[in-house]
Structure 1
Amino acid sequence: MKNTLQTLDRGINALELISKAEHGITVAKLAEELEINRAIAYRIIATLEDHGLVVRSESGQIHLGAAALMYSHRFLPQLRSRAQPLLEVLARKAGATAFVCVAQGNKGCVIMVEESDAGILRVGYRVGSQHPLSQGAAGIAILSSREPSADEPEMVTQARKDGYSLTRGHLQAGAVGVASPIKTRNSESLLECSIGVVAMDNLDTKNAIEAVQHTARQLAEQLGI
Protein backbone atom coordinates (compact mmCIF):
# COMPACT_ATOMS: atom_id res chain seq x y z
CA MET A 1 0.00 0.00 0.00
CA LYS A 2 1.36 3.42 -0.98
CA ASN A 3 2.25 5.85 1.80
CA THR A 4 0.48 8.95 0.39
CA LEU A 5 -0.74 12.20 1.95
CA GLN A 6 -4.51 12.35 1.58
CA THR A 7 -4.85 16.14 1.65
CA LEU A 8 -2.18 16.62 -1.02
CA ASP A 9 -3.74 13.86 -3.09
CA ARG A 10 -7.11 15.61 -2.93
CA GLY A 11 -5.53 18.93 -3.90
CA ILE A 12 -3.88 17.39 -6.97
CA ASN A 13 -7.11 15.66 -7.95
CA ALA A 14 -8.93 18.99 -7.54
CA LEU A 15 -6.45 20.69 -9.88
CA GLU A 16 -6.98 17.97 -12.45
CA LEU A 17 -10.76 18.37 -12.31
CA ILE A 18 -10.49 22.16 -12.56
CA SER A 19 -8.15 21.90 -15.53
CA LYS A 20 -10.70 19.78 -17.40
CA ALA A 21 -13.58 22.20 -16.76
CA GLU A 22 -13.45 24.58 -19.72
CA HIS A 23 -15.94 26.99 -18.17
CA GLY A 24 -14.88 26.46 -14.58
CA ILE A 25 -16.37 24.34 -11.80
CA THR A 26 -18.26 25.18 -8.60
CA VAL A 27 -17.06 24.18 -5.16
CA ALA A 28 -20.22 22.10 -4.75
CA LYS A 29 -19.52 20.16 -7.95
CA LEU A 30 -15.89 19.74 -6.99
CA ALA A 31 -16.86 18.33 -3.60
CA GLU A 32 -19.23 15.92 -5.33
CA GLU A 33 -16.57 14.75 -7.79
CA LEU A 34 -13.98 14.28 -5.04
CA GLU A 35 -16.56 12.64 -2.75
CA ILE A 36 -15.79 14.98 0.14
CA ASN A 37 -17.88 17.48 2.09
CA ARG A 38 -18.02 21.11 0.99
CA ALA A 39 -16.09 22.39 4.00
CA ILE A 40 -13.04 20.35 2.98
CA ALA A 41 -13.47 21.40 -0.67
CA TYR A 42 -13.53 25.08 0.38
CA ARG A 43 -10.28 24.62 2.35
CA ILE A 44 -8.61 22.94 -0.62
CA ILE A 45 -9.68 25.77 -2.93
CA ALA A 46 -8.57 28.42 -0.43
CA THR A 47 -5.12 26.82 -0.23
CA LEU A 48 -4.80 26.59 -4.00
CA GLU A 49 -5.93 30.23 -4.29
CA ASP A 50 -3.22 31.33 -1.84
CA HIS A 51 -0.62 29.83 -4.19
CA GLY A 52 -2.18 31.32 -7.32
CA LEU A 53 -2.99 27.92 -8.76
CA VAL A 54 -6.72 28.66 -9.02
CA VAL A 55 -8.91 31.75 -9.16
CA ARG A 56 -12.58 32.24 -8.35
CA SER A 57 -14.81 34.25 -10.69
CA GLU A 58 -17.60 36.56 -9.55
CA SER A 59 -20.10 33.81 -10.35
CA GLY A 60 -18.25 31.41 -8.05
CA GLN A 61 -16.72 29.26 -10.77
CA ILE A 62 -13.21 27.98 -10.08
CA HIS A 63 -10.61 28.25 -12.87
CA LEU A 64 -6.91 27.56 -13.15
CA GLY A 65 -4.72 30.45 -12.03
CA ALA A 66 -1.65 32.00 -13.63
CA ALA A 67 0.72 30.03 -11.38
CA ALA A 68 -0.36 26.83 -13.12
CA LEU A 69 0.89 28.28 -16.42
CA MET A 70 4.14 29.32 -14.74
CA TYR A 71 4.83 25.74 -13.69
CA SER A 72 4.14 24.46 -17.20
CA HIS A 73 6.66 26.96 -18.61
CA ARG A 74 9.26 25.81 -16.10
CA PHE A 75 8.81 22.24 -17.33
CA LEU A 76 10.25 22.96 -20.78
CA PRO A 77 13.81 23.63 -19.53
CA GLN A 78 13.67 20.33 -17.63
CA LEU A 79 12.46 18.58 -20.77
CA ARG A 80 15.36 20.05 -22.74
CA SER A 81 17.99 19.06 -20.16
CA ARG A 82 16.73 15.47 -20.01
CA ALA A 83 16.31 15.14 -23.75
CA GLN A 84 19.62 16.66 -24.88
CA PRO A 85 21.95 13.70 -24.16
CA LEU A 86 19.36 11.24 -25.50
CA LEU A 87 19.01 13.30 -28.66
CA GLU A 88 22.77 13.24 -29.22
CA VAL A 89 22.83 9.45 -28.99
CA LEU A 90 19.78 9.14 -31.25
CA ALA A 91 21.33 11.34 -33.97
CA ARG A 92 24.50 9.26 -33.89
CA LYS A 93 22.71 5.89 -33.94
CA ALA A 94 20.32 6.83 -36.74
CA GLY A 95 22.86 8.86 -38.73
CA ALA A 96 20.23 11.57 -39.09
CA THR A 97 19.02 14.86 -37.64
CA ALA A 98 17.26 14.16 -34.34
CA PHE A 99 14.56 16.44 -32.93
CA VAL A 100 11.92 17.03 -30.27
CA CYS A 101 8.63 18.56 -31.39
CA VAL A 102 5.79 19.88 -29.21
CA ALA A 103 2.19 20.67 -30.12
CA GLN A 104 1.18 24.33 -30.12
CA GLY A 105 -2.43 24.61 -31.16
CA ASN A 106 -2.84 22.81 -34.48
CA LYS A 107 0.86 23.06 -35.30
CA GLY A 108 3.99 21.23 -34.29
CA CYS A 109 6.94 23.33 -33.17
CA VAL A 110 10.50 21.99 -33.12
CA ILE A 111 12.12 22.92 -29.78
CA MET A 112 15.34 20.86 -30.02
CA VAL A 113 17.56 19.68 -32.87
CA GLU A 114 20.74 17.60 -32.86
CA GLU A 115 22.63 17.12 -36.10
CA SER A 116 24.41 13.90 -37.03
CA ASP A 117 28.03 13.87 -38.15
CA ALA A 118 27.17 11.23 -40.75
CA GLY A 119 26.36 12.21 -44.31
CA ILE A 120 26.75 15.42 -46.27
CA LEU A 121 23.13 16.20 -47.12
CA ARG A 122 21.18 17.70 -44.25
CA VAL A 123 17.51 18.48 -43.90
CA GLY A 124 16.37 22.05 -43.26
CA TYR A 125 14.85 21.22 -39.86
CA ARG A 126 15.69 23.87 -37.29
CA VAL A 127 14.63 24.96 -33.82
CA GLY A 128 11.50 27.05 -34.24
CA SER A 129 10.37 25.26 -37.40
CA GLN A 130 6.58 24.90 -37.46
CA HIS A 131 4.22 22.81 -39.54
CA PRO A 132 0.64 21.51 -39.36
CA LEU A 133 0.31 18.47 -37.10
CA SER A 134 -1.22 16.60 -40.03
CA GLN A 135 2.02 16.90 -42.04
CA GLY A 136 5.33 15.28 -41.22
CA ALA A 137 6.28 12.40 -38.96
CA ALA A 138 6.57 14.58 -35.83
CA GLY A 139 3.04 15.97 -36.04
CA ILE A 140 1.43 12.68 -37.04
CA ALA A 141 3.14 10.98 -34.09
CA ILE A 142 1.66 13.60 -31.75
CA LEU A 143 -1.82 13.14 -33.24
CA SER A 144 -1.49 9.38 -32.78
CA SER A 145 -1.12 9.89 -29.02
CA ARG A 146 -4.62 11.38 -28.87
CA GLU A 147 -7.89 9.50 -28.65
CA PRO A 148 -9.02 8.08 -32.03
CA SER A 149 -11.50 10.13 -34.05
CA ALA A 150 -13.69 9.09 -36.95
CA ASP A 151 -12.27 11.71 -39.33
CA GLU A 152 -8.57 11.35 -38.53
CA PRO A 153 -6.13 10.71 -41.41
CA GLU A 154 -5.27 7.08 -42.10
CA MET A 155 -1.60 7.81 -41.36
CA VAL A 156 -2.53 8.81 -37.80
CA THR A 157 -4.47 5.60 -37.27
CA GLN A 158 -1.56 3.56 -38.60
CA ALA A 159 0.95 5.45 -36.43
CA ARG A 160 -1.14 4.72 -33.33
CA LYS A 161 -1.13 1.03 -34.23
CA ASP A 162 2.60 0.91 -35.01
CA GLY A 163 3.81 3.19 -32.22
CA TYR A 164 5.65 5.42 -34.70
CA SER A 165 5.09 7.51 -37.82
CA LEU A 166 7.06 7.16 -41.05
CA THR A 167 6.71 9.80 -43.74
CA ARG A 168 8.43 10.56 -47.04
CA GLY A 169 8.60 13.96 -48.69
CA HIS A 170 5.99 15.61 -46.47
CA LEU A 171 7.90 18.73 -45.47
CA GLN A 172 10.82 18.64 -47.91
CA ALA A 173 11.31 16.77 -51.16
CA GLY A 174 13.38 13.63 -50.58
CA ALA A 175 13.19 13.87 -46.78
CA VAL A 176 12.29 10.77 -44.74
CA GLY A 177 11.03 11.23 -41.19
CA VAL A 178 10.46 8.82 -38.32
CA ALA A 179 8.88 9.94 -35.05
CA SER A 180 7.34 8.42 -31.95
CA PRO A 181 5.10 10.15 -29.38
CA ILE A 182 6.33 10.63 -25.84
CA LYS A 183 3.63 8.54 -24.21
CA THR A 184 2.35 9.48 -20.77
CA ARG A 185 0.69 7.35 -18.13
CA ASN A 186 -2.21 9.81 -18.16
CA SER A 187 -3.92 9.86 -21.56
CA GLU A 188 -5.26 13.35 -20.78
CA SER A 189 -1.85 14.83 -20.02
CA LEU A 190 -1.26 18.34 -21.37
CA LEU A 191 2.16 17.26 -22.61
CA GLU A 192 1.98 16.52 -26.33
CA CYS A 193 5.34 15.97 -27.94
CA SER A 194 7.27 13.59 -30.13
CA ILE A 195 10.87 12.68 -30.72
CA GLY A 196 12.28 11.51 -34.01
CA VAL A 197 14.77 11.78 -36.82
CA VAL A 198 14.73 13.14 -40.35
CA ALA A 199 17.18 12.61 -43.20
CA MET A 200 17.33 12.35 -46.96
CA ASP A 201 16.46 9.23 -48.99
CA ASN A 202 19.29 7.06 -47.65
CA LEU A 203 17.88 6.79 -44.11
CA ASP A 204 18.00 3.24 -42.69
CA THR A 205 14.36 3.26 -41.61
CA LYS A 206 14.47 -0.06 -39.73
CA ASN A 207 17.36 1.13 -37.60
CA ALA A 208 15.81 4.59 -37.21
CA ILE A 209 12.46 3.19 -36.04
CA GLU A 210 14.10 1.04 -33.37
CA ALA A 211 16.31 3.91 -32.17
CA VAL A 212 13.46 6.43 -32.07
CA GLN A 213 11.08 4.16 -30.16
CA HIS A 214 13.82 3.24 -27.67
CA THR A 215 14.66 6.91 -27.10
CA ALA A 216 10.99 7.86 -26.67
CA ARG A 217 10.64 5.24 -23.92
CA GLN A 218 13.82 6.45 -22.23
CA LEU A 219 12.68 10.07 -22.22
CA ALA A 220 9.23 9.20 -20.85
CA GLU A 221 10.86 7.20 -18.04
CA GLN A 222 13.29 9.99 -17.16
CA LEU A 223 10.52 12.58 -17.07
CA GLY A 224 8.42 10.30 -14.88
CA ILE A 225 5.35 10.75 -17.08
Structure 2
Amino acid sequence: MSELKHGSPVVEKTAHLLEAIADARTGISLASLVEQLGVPRSTVYRILNSLSAHGLVARVNGGSIYELGPKFVELARRISPGADKALLVEAAKPLLTAAADRIMESFKLAAPEGLEMMTIFAAPSPGDYSLFIKVGGRSRKHVGAGGKLALAFSDYSEVEAYCAAGLEARTPYTITDPDALKEALIEIRRNGYAEDNQESNLGVRAISTPVFDGNGQLVATISVPFIGEATPDRARSIRREALDCATLLTKAIDGRHPLSK
Protein backbone atom coordinates (compact mmCIF):
# COMPACT_ATOMS: atom_id res chain seq x y z
CA MET A 1 0.00 0.00 0.00
CA SER A 2 1.61 3.25 -1.17
CA GLU A 3 1.06 6.52 0.66
CA LEU A 4 0.82 10.06 -0.70
CA LYS A 5 4.16 11.86 -0.35
CA HIS A 6 2.79 14.96 1.39
CA GLY A 7 -0.40 13.49 2.81
CA SER A 8 -1.43 12.25 6.23
CA PRO A 9 -0.45 8.59 6.83
CA VAL A 10 -3.54 7.96 8.97
CA VAL A 11 -5.88 9.44 6.39
CA GLU A 12 -4.18 7.45 3.64
CA LYS A 13 -4.58 4.21 5.60
CA THR A 14 -8.22 5.05 6.32
CA ALA A 15 -8.93 5.76 2.65
CA HIS A 16 -7.37 2.46 1.55
CA LEU A 17 -9.29 0.62 4.28
CA LEU A 18 -12.62 2.10 3.12
CA GLU A 19 -11.84 1.17 -0.47
CA ALA A 20 -11.09 -2.41 0.60
CA ILE A 21 -14.39 -2.63 2.49
CA ALA A 22 -16.30 -1.17 -0.46
CA ASP A 23 -14.69 -3.66 -2.86
CA ALA A 24 -15.72 -6.58 -0.63
CA ARG A 25 -19.37 -6.72 -1.66
CA THR A 26 -20.37 -9.10 1.14
CA GLY A 27 -18.17 -7.57 3.85
CA ILE A 28 -14.64 -8.25 5.04
CA SER A 29 -13.02 -9.41 8.29
CA LEU A 30 -10.40 -7.63 10.38
CA ALA A 31 -7.86 -10.34 9.56
CA SER A 32 -8.47 -9.95 5.82
CA LEU A 33 -8.05 -6.19 6.05
CA VAL A 34 -4.76 -6.57 7.91
CA GLU A 35 -3.48 -9.00 5.29
CA GLN A 36 -4.72 -6.99 2.33
CA LEU A 37 -3.48 -3.60 3.52
CA GLY A 38 -0.24 -4.70 5.16
CA VAL A 39 -1.01 -2.54 8.19
CA PRO A 40 -0.58 -3.64 11.84
CA ARG A 41 -3.67 -5.26 13.33
CA SER A 42 -3.84 -2.69 16.14
CA THR A 43 -3.86 0.20 13.64
CA VAL A 44 -6.63 -1.34 11.55
CA TYR A 45 -8.62 -2.07 14.70
CA ARG A 46 -8.38 1.53 15.93
CA ILE A 47 -9.40 2.94 12.54
CA LEU A 48 -12.38 0.59 12.37
CA ASN A 49 -13.49 1.62 15.85
CA SER A 50 -13.34 5.31 14.94
CA LEU A 51 -15.19 4.79 11.66
CA SER A 52 -17.84 2.68 13.41
CA ALA A 53 -18.43 5.43 15.96
CA HIS A 54 -19.24 7.83 13.11
CA GLY A 55 -21.46 5.37 11.22
CA LEU A 56 -19.04 5.08 8.31
CA VAL A 57 -18.41 1.39 8.99
CA ALA A 58 -20.74 -1.21 10.48
CA ARG A 59 -20.54 -4.85 11.53
CA VAL A 60 -22.68 -7.19 9.45
CA ASN A 61 -25.43 -8.42 11.78
CA GLY A 62 -23.26 -7.37 14.72
CA GLY A 63 -20.62 -9.99 13.87
CA SER A 64 -16.95 -9.84 12.94
CA ILE A 65 -17.46 -8.88 9.28
CA TYR A 66 -17.33 -5.20 8.36
CA GLU A 67 -19.23 -3.30 5.67
CA LEU A 68 -19.74 0.37 4.80
CA GLY A 69 -22.08 2.06 7.25
CA PRO A 70 -25.33 3.99 6.77
CA LYS A 71 -23.58 7.34 7.03
CA PHE A 72 -22.31 6.94 3.48
CA VAL A 73 -25.88 6.83 2.15
CA GLU A 74 -26.75 9.97 4.09
CA LEU A 75 -23.67 11.81 2.83
CA ALA A 76 -24.32 10.75 -0.76
CA ARG A 77 -27.88 12.06 -0.56
CA ARG A 78 -26.64 15.39 0.76
CA ILE A 79 -24.55 15.78 -2.38
CA SER A 80 -27.52 14.87 -4.58
CA PRO A 81 -29.05 11.56 -5.62
CA GLY A 82 -28.03 12.51 -9.15
CA ALA A 83 -24.40 12.19 -8.11
CA ASP A 84 -24.96 8.52 -7.37
CA LYS A 85 -27.59 7.08 -9.66
CA ALA A 86 -27.24 3.70 -7.99
CA LEU A 87 -28.94 5.11 -4.87
CA LEU A 88 -31.76 6.49 -6.99
CA VAL A 89 -32.27 3.19 -8.79
CA GLU A 90 -32.19 1.27 -5.51
CA ALA A 91 -34.99 3.42 -4.10
CA ALA A 92 -37.00 3.39 -7.35
CA LYS A 93 -36.85 -0.31 -8.19
CA PRO A 94 -39.53 -1.63 -5.79
CA LEU A 95 -41.82 1.34 -6.44
CA LEU A 96 -41.74 1.10 -10.24
CA THR A 97 -41.85 -2.70 -10.31
CA ALA A 98 -44.98 -2.74 -8.15
CA ALA A 99 -46.60 -0.01 -10.25
CA ALA A 100 -45.82 -1.87 -13.49
CA ASP A 101 -47.51 -4.96 -12.06
CA ARG A 102 -50.57 -2.96 -11.00
CA ILE A 103 -51.36 -1.24 -14.28
CA MET A 104 -49.62 -3.64 -16.71
CA GLU A 105 -47.45 -0.95 -18.30
CA SER A 106 -43.67 -0.51 -18.39
CA PHE A 107 -42.10 2.22 -16.24
CA LYS A 108 -38.89 4.11 -17.02
CA LEU A 109 -36.59 6.09 -14.73
CA ALA A 110 -34.40 8.62 -16.53
CA ALA A 111 -31.90 11.25 -15.38
CA PRO A 112 -30.83 14.47 -17.12
CA GLU A 113 -27.35 14.37 -18.69
CA GLY A 114 -26.50 17.66 -20.38
CA LEU A 115 -28.76 18.07 -23.42
CA GLU A 116 -30.07 14.52 -23.05
CA MET A 117 -32.05 12.21 -20.80
CA MET A 118 -30.50 8.85 -19.96
CA THR A 119 -32.55 5.83 -18.93
CA ILE A 120 -31.11 4.43 -15.69
CA PHE A 121 -33.76 1.84 -14.80
CA ALA A 122 -36.72 0.14 -16.44
CA ALA A 123 -39.49 -1.93 -14.87
CA PRO A 124 -41.08 -4.02 -17.64
CA SER A 125 -44.78 -4.69 -17.73
CA PRO A 126 -45.79 -8.29 -17.01
CA GLY A 127 -48.27 -8.01 -19.88
CA ASP A 128 -47.90 -9.83 -23.19
CA TYR A 129 -47.40 -6.65 -25.23
CA SER A 130 -45.17 -4.54 -23.04
CA LEU A 131 -42.77 -2.02 -24.58
CA PHE A 132 -39.06 -2.80 -24.39
CA ILE A 133 -37.08 -0.03 -22.69
CA LYS A 134 -33.30 0.03 -23.11
CA VAL A 135 -31.40 0.95 -19.95
CA GLY A 136 -28.60 3.32 -20.91
CA GLY A 137 -30.56 4.71 -23.85
CA ARG A 138 -30.33 8.46 -24.47
CA SER A 139 -32.47 11.03 -26.22
CA ARG A 140 -32.55 14.81 -26.58
CA LYS A 141 -34.75 16.47 -23.98
CA HIS A 142 -37.25 18.17 -26.29
CA VAL A 143 -38.34 14.95 -27.99
CA GLY A 144 -39.87 13.13 -25.00
CA ALA A 145 -42.11 13.63 -21.98
CA GLY A 146 -39.33 13.19 -19.42
CA GLY A 147 -36.97 15.55 -21.21
CA LYS A 148 -39.58 18.27 -21.58
CA LEU A 149 -40.33 17.89 -17.87
CA ALA A 150 -36.63 18.34 -17.07
CA LEU A 151 -36.55 21.50 -19.19
CA ALA A 152 -39.74 22.81 -17.56
CA PHE A 153 -38.05 22.72 -14.16
CA SER A 154 -34.79 24.24 -15.43
CA ASP A 155 -33.74 27.88 -15.22
CA TYR A 156 -34.77 30.13 -18.10
CA SER A 157 -31.14 30.58 -19.15
CA GLU A 158 -30.74 26.80 -19.42
CA VAL A 159 -33.80 26.57 -21.65
CA GLU A 160 -32.45 29.37 -23.84
CA ALA A 161 -29.09 27.62 -24.18
CA TYR A 162 -30.83 24.34 -24.97
CA CYS A 163 -32.93 25.89 -27.74
CA ALA A 164 -29.85 27.59 -29.17
CA ALA A 165 -28.30 24.14 -29.68
CA GLY A 166 -31.07 23.31 -32.18
CA LEU A 167 -34.31 21.36 -31.99
CA GLU A 168 -34.13 18.56 -34.52
CA ALA A 169 -37.21 16.49 -35.33
CA ARG A 170 -37.48 12.81 -34.42
CA THR A 171 -41.01 12.51 -35.85
CA PRO A 172 -43.41 14.89 -37.58
CA TYR A 173 -44.87 15.60 -34.11
CA THR A 174 -41.64 16.70 -32.44
CA ILE A 175 -41.70 20.32 -31.26
CA THR A 176 -38.98 22.12 -33.21
CA ASP A 177 -40.03 25.75 -32.76
CA PRO A 178 -38.35 27.36 -29.70
CA ASP A 179 -41.35 29.58 -28.89
CA ALA A 180 -43.76 26.64 -29.08
CA LEU A 181 -41.48 24.60 -26.84
CA LYS A 182 -41.25 27.40 -24.26
CA GLU A 183 -45.04 27.70 -24.18
CA ALA A 184 -45.35 23.96 -23.68
CA LEU A 185 -42.82 24.07 -20.84
CA ILE A 186 -44.87 26.71 -18.99
CA GLU A 187 -47.94 24.46 -19.13
CA ILE A 188 -45.93 21.39 -18.10
CA ARG A 189 -44.55 23.16 -15.03
CA ARG A 190 -48.05 24.33 -14.12
CA ASN A 191 -49.53 20.83 -14.51
CA GLY A 192 -46.66 19.02 -12.78
CA TYR A 193 -46.39 16.34 -15.47
CA ALA A 194 -45.62 16.03 -19.18
CA GLU A 195 -46.92 14.04 -22.12
CA ASP A 196 -45.29 12.69 -25.26
CA ASN A 197 -47.72 12.50 -28.16
CA GLN A 198 -45.70 10.53 -30.72
CA GLU A 199 -42.91 13.14 -30.48
CA SER A 200 -40.13 10.60 -29.97
CA ASN A 201 -41.55 7.52 -31.72
CA LEU A 202 -44.53 7.18 -34.03
CA GLY A 203 -47.38 5.31 -32.39
CA VAL A 204 -45.92 5.67 -28.89
CA ARG A 205 -47.20 8.05 -26.25
CA ALA A 206 -46.01 8.61 -22.69
CA ILE A 207 -46.77 10.37 -19.43
CA SER A 208 -43.88 11.55 -17.24
CA THR A 209 -43.62 12.89 -13.69
CA PRO A 210 -40.74 14.61 -11.82
CA VAL A 211 -38.48 13.43 -8.97
CA PHE A 212 -36.76 16.11 -6.87
CA ASP A 213 -33.83 16.14 -4.45
CA GLY A 214 -33.54 17.90 -1.10
CA ASN A 215 -32.76 21.20 -2.82
CA GLY A 216 -35.89 21.03 -4.95
CA GLN A 217 -33.86 20.23 -8.07
CA LEU A 218 -35.21 17.76 -10.62
CA VAL A 219 -32.88 14.76 -10.62
CA ALA A 220 -34.98 12.20 -12.47
CA THR A 221 -38.24 11.57 -14.25
CA ILE A 222 -40.60 8.60 -14.16
CA SER A 223 -42.21 7.87 -17.52
CA VAL A 224 -44.88 5.40 -18.61
CA PRO A 225 -44.76 4.83 -22.40
CA PHE A 226 -47.68 3.09 -24.09
CA ILE A 227 -48.80 2.24 -27.61
CA GLY A 228 -51.73 4.01 -29.22
CA GLU A 229 -54.22 6.33 -27.59
CA ALA A 230 -55.43 5.63 -24.07
CA THR A 231 -59.03 6.17 -23.07
CA PRO A 232 -59.58 9.10 -20.67
CA ASP A 233 -59.96 6.69 -17.75
CA ARG A 234 -56.84 4.79 -18.73
CA ALA A 235 -54.83 8.00 -19.14
CA ARG A 236 -55.95 9.16 -15.68
CA SER A 237 -54.94 5.81 -14.19
CA ILE A 238 -51.46 5.95 -15.78
CA ARG A 239 -50.98 9.57 -14.72
CA ARG A 240 -52.06 8.83 -11.15
CA GLU A 241 -49.63 5.90 -10.84
CA ALA A 242 -46.76 7.92 -12.30
CA LEU A 243 -47.46 10.87 -9.99
CA ASP A 244 -47.73 8.61 -6.94
CA CYS A 245 -44.42 6.91 -7.80
CA ALA A 246 -42.69 10.26 -8.26
CA THR A 247 -44.02 11.53 -4.94
CA LEU A 248 -42.92 8.38 -3.11
CA LEU A 249 -39.48 8.37 -4.72
CA THR A 250 -38.96 12.07 -3.92
CA LYS A 251 -39.86 11.29 -0.31
CA ALA A 252 -37.59 8.22 -0.25
CA ILE A 253 -34.55 10.32 -1.18
CA ASP A 254 -35.49 13.11 1.25
CA GLY A 255 -36.42 15.39 -1.61
CA ARG A 256 -38.96 18.17 -1.86
CA HIS A 257 -41.03 19.75 -4.60
CA PRO A 258 -39.62 23.20 -5.50
CA LEU A 259 -43.08 24.75 -5.33
CA SER A 260 -43.92 23.30 -1.91
CA LYS A 261 -43.81 25.53 1.15
Q: State the TM bucket, normalised to the shorter chain.
A: 0.5 to 0.7
* Structure 1 Cα separation of the partners of residues 186 and 99 of structure 2: 25
Q: Is the aligned partner of 1:106 residue 2:115? A: yes
Q: C-alpha displacement at 1:92, in angstroms?
A: 2.1
Q: C-alpha displacement at 1:124, in angstroms?
A: 4.1
Instruction: Map residues 28-177 of structure 1 onto 2, 5 A cutoff.
Output: 75-120=84-129, 122-148=130-156, 152-177=181-206
**Alignment root-mean-square deviation, CA:** 2.3
Structure 1: which amino acid aligns with 2:221?
Answer: S
Change (3 A) 1:147 1:140: same
SS in 2 for 1:153: helix
- The higher radius of gyration belongs to 2
> Do the aligned residues in 2 keep the contact of 1:141 with 1:165 (CA within 8 Å)?
yes
> What is the count of residue pairs matched by the alignment?
153
* Structure 2 Cα separation of the partners of residues 209 and 74 of structure 1: 28
Q: C-alpha displacement at 1:74, in angstroms?
A: 6.4
Q: C-alpha displacement at 1:218, in angstroms?
A: 0.2
Deviations 1:167-189 (A, max 9, x none): 121222111101011134424x4
Change (3 A) 1:141 1:74: closer
% same residue: 20
Change (3 A) 1:119 1:153: farther
- Scaled by the length of structure 2, the TM-score of the pair is 0.53
Change (3 A) 1:102 1:216: same
SS in 1 for 2:100: helix
> Do the aligned residues in 1 keep the contact of 2:208 with 2:223 (CA within 8 Å)?
yes
**What stretches of structure 2 of length at least 5 have no aligned partner?**
1-75, 161-178, 256-261
Change (3 A) 1:124 1:170: farther
- Scaled by the length of structure 1, the TM-score of the pair is 0.61
* Structure 1 Cα separation of the partners of residues 123 and 104 of structure 2: 11
> Do the aligned residues in 2 keep the contact of 1:103 with 1:109 (CA within 8 Å)?
yes
* Structure 2 Cα separation of the partners of residues 183 and 84 of structure 1: 16
